[in-house]
Amino acid sequence: MRVVLYAASMLERDDTVIDLRSADEAQLITDKASRLAVTDINQDFTPPSSGRVVFCCRSGQRAWQAAERLSTRFHGPIALIAAGTPRPTDTK
């Protein structure tokens, strides 16, 4: 599995962005992101066949777990974003 670590500023228009953080933890990384849990990345989760899938979480650990789950059946590009801990002003 080849996975690349990205910064949020590197997101592209056609990326499928999955934010693995809870709503209590942080706002979505981008308005076009979907919020899912790692356990939601199962056989029912089917990303578009083209484009990159980008998983986002605080440290990168959940993103890595989600990428491992998806890589067993998806052979397109996968990227991870470790978004860190939002500042108090970022969550308002």
pLDDT tens for each residue of the chain, 92 residues long: 778 888 999 999 999 999 999 999 999 999 999 999 999 999 999 998 888 999 999 999 999 999 999 999 998 999 999 998 766 655 54
pLDDT at 27: 94
pLDDT at 88: 64
71 burial (CB, 10 Å; 0-12 / 13-18 / 19+) is: middle
pLDDT at 23: 95
Phi and psi at 64, nearest 5°, equal -65, -45
Enter the CATH code of domain 3-85. 3.40.250.10
Domains of the chain by residue range: 3-85
Between CA 83 and CA 92 the distance in angstroms is 17
